Amino acid sequence: MILDSKIPAGPLAEKWTKHKFNMKLVNPANKRKYDVIVVGTGLAGASAAASLAELGYNVKAFCFQDSPRRAHSIAAQGGINAAKNYQNDGDSVFRLFYDTIKGGDYRAREGNVYRLAEVSVNIIDQCVAQGVPFAREYGGLLANRSFGGAQVSRTFYARGQTGQQLLLGAYSALSRQVANGKVKLYPRTEMMDVVKIDGHARGIVTRNLITGAIEKHAAHAVLLCTGGYGNVFFLSTNAMGSNVTAAWRAHKRGAYFANPCYTQIHPTCIPVSGDHQSKLTLMSESLRNDGRVWVPSTVEMAEKLRKGQIKANDIPENERDYYLERKYPSFGNLVPRDVASRNAKYVCDEGRGVNETGEAVFLDFRDAIKRDGEDTIRARYGNLFDMYQQITGENPYQVPMMIYPAVHYTMGGLWVDYNLSTTIPGLYALGEANFSDHGANRLGASALMQGLADGYFVIPYTVGDYLAQIGPSPVNADHPEFDKSIQEVKDRIQKLLSIKGSKTVDYFHKKLGKIMWNECGMARTAEGLKQAKADIKALREEFWKDVKVLGENEELNQSLEKAHRVADFLELGELMIDDAFNREESCGGHFREEYQTPEGEALRDDENFAYVAAWKYLGEGQEEELHKEPLEFENVKLTQRSYK
């Protein structure tokens, strides 16, 4: 298959406008004849479901949580980007586009990224109209703050709970359509498979997580808005329920999976405290606006700190190394996440880590509190400081926070074209579930932007174009392909329940996570990836022989839920290793130690690797097939990224 990105011709700034005009429309009276399934009700899913229902389509929305309000989008804290230029500090749509392309280390499509920057300004207006309580300046304008990878202030925020407030806005729009009868909501329901008829996606098979009932649902189009796959690492900032299953089952039905090795390590997380942990806690990147990152200047001083002989506040100013400010004077503490994360790893590898394990650096607000006062800092970040104190028992107003990088966001995902269509006609992927807008590293505050852009402003046009072309012929779930898929799902469930092994699902998940973190985390090597591939193969074989899944299907069974998800993670982990091994360069969050500049920065190979890696599933036990979508840069110059 030739990967056709369907990027419209013409000048960058005119592509989306012309494309919208050239797409076919469904007239208002006909929209009620079409059914659309939306899987996932986070920002991308809730906004898409609400928007499509508002247009008149019949929507079924599915989530495995008990309420859409529990979607992981709620955990995004710091803000949402938009090129409003309220500060008059030099921002523009083109600058947001450029910062995003550069921040992703030149591994994203220009057309998609420019559209994202273009519609960003509309997102803010939409959310304000919904009542999202963005922070405001004294004069009434919405406030902005800075985020990594930008030298302008373009991040809109609601204290330290932006994701929660945006999700409540989208949820209110969704609830309105539920009340109107245009959206039927299916909570506590997990997608188990995509059903294809004559090559087109025509529905899904689900499992009711309360009763275990396997059910089928037909539609003219299916939208996957199911988030990322960061939990393949076991410990991540993702909610524990976050998984890859919906995207992975679509992949096994023919949807190509793109750039799986591009995972983002967030530099500002509470460090790991022990093997008892099941997830990690993110401290918002917004904290780097006022917090200064540092470690002791010498290993000797760091050792005293780790042994408890001295405290952080005992270390004089001249013995503190503000290493991001020293190395990157133009951006300082607001370098992109991959750069900040790698540098934290470097100083800790040198022996200058500040906690007992040696894997932490300080994020210090002493100077900001002296400058602006504690009340001002409390107004900006109060809930984040409270959360930190509850988890660690330390007061960050009085002592520096301790932070360390952790797995956060996945830039890879299902391959989609400009219309957000996967390689299966009628199957779309939105938000973090697709690969499209961030390249090899996502800039902070761009996840919320992409999720809402896809749901509110892109998919209503592009799915309409597809529906207009296929026509409103009724679809139903009586087709034999639905029954075939249901039987395959039941067989898989029975297989998992019948193993009756000796090891828990979590045992396998933790082992997989350690392999992935050690060999495919912040740094990768050819040797380590080869070993990881063999280790995961062996672990997968052991899983299907010795996993212990308790209970039965016809009940609430979280052991079975986890088993499905971990089985998919084991397969995905292998593909991530293949992708990382194949990409013999460093770019963004993909750091191959063999390919770096003398200063330790990522060293790209544009001649050989300026492409999207899209992987095709060929069948059980077979190696996946790599397809390449070349990336063309007509509006930005490919240069070595520098934030100095």
Active site residues: 337
Treating both helix axes as pointing N-terminal to C-terminal, what angle do 43-55 and 459-470 enclose, rounded to 10 degrees? Answer: 50
Amino acid at residue number 104: G
Query: Is-contact 426 434, C-beta < 8 A?
Result: no
Query: What phi and psi, each to the nearest 5 degrees, are found at residue 71?
Result: -60, 150
Structure tokens at 251: 């992949």
Query: Is-contact 302 357, C-beta < 8 A?
Result: no
Q: Any residues with CB less than 8 A from the CB of 519 and at least 6 apart, and which?
A: 525, 528, 529, 531, 532, 577
Q: Strands 200-208, 361-364: parallel, antiparallel or unpaired by DSSP?
A: unpaired
Query: What phi and psi, each to the nearest 5 degrees, are found at residue 581?
Result: -70, -40
Query: What phi and psi, each to the nearest 5 degrees, are found at residue 257?
Result: -110, 125
Residue with tokens 């470690």: 295
Structure tokens at 332: 């300082």
Could you give the dihedral angle defined by the CA atoms of residues 539, 545, 547 and 553, in that order, rounded to the nearest 10 degrees? Answer: 130
Amino acid at residue number 517: W
In the chain, count H helices and then E strands: 19, 19
Q: Any residues with CB less than 8 A from the CB of 222 and at least 6 apart, and which?
A: 36, 37, 39, 194, 201, 202, 203, 204, 426, 427, 428
Q: What is the DSSP letter of 156?
A: E
Query: Is-contact 232 513, C-beta < 8 A?
Result: yes
Q: Strands 292-296, 413-414: parallel, antiparallel or unpaired by DSSP?
A: unpaired
Q: Strands 221-224, 320-321: parallel, antiparallel or unpaired by DSSP?
A: unpaired
- For 397, counting Cβ atoms within 10 Å of its Cβ (0-12 exposed, 13-18 middle, 19+ buried), the class is middle
Q: What is the DSSP letter of 238?
A: S
* Nearest CA-CA partner of 192 in 178, 212, 221, 210: 212
d(CA 188, CA 65): 5
Using only the alpha carbons of the chain, give its radius of gyration. Answer: 24
* Nearest CA-CA partner of 258 in 458, 453, 412: 412
Query: What's the distance, Cα to Cα, between the start and end of the chain in Å?
Result: 42
CA angle 55, 59, 61 (to 5 degrees): 130
Could you give the dihedral angle defined by the CA atoms of residues 310, 311, 312 and 317, in that order, rounded to the nearest 10 degrees? Answer: -50
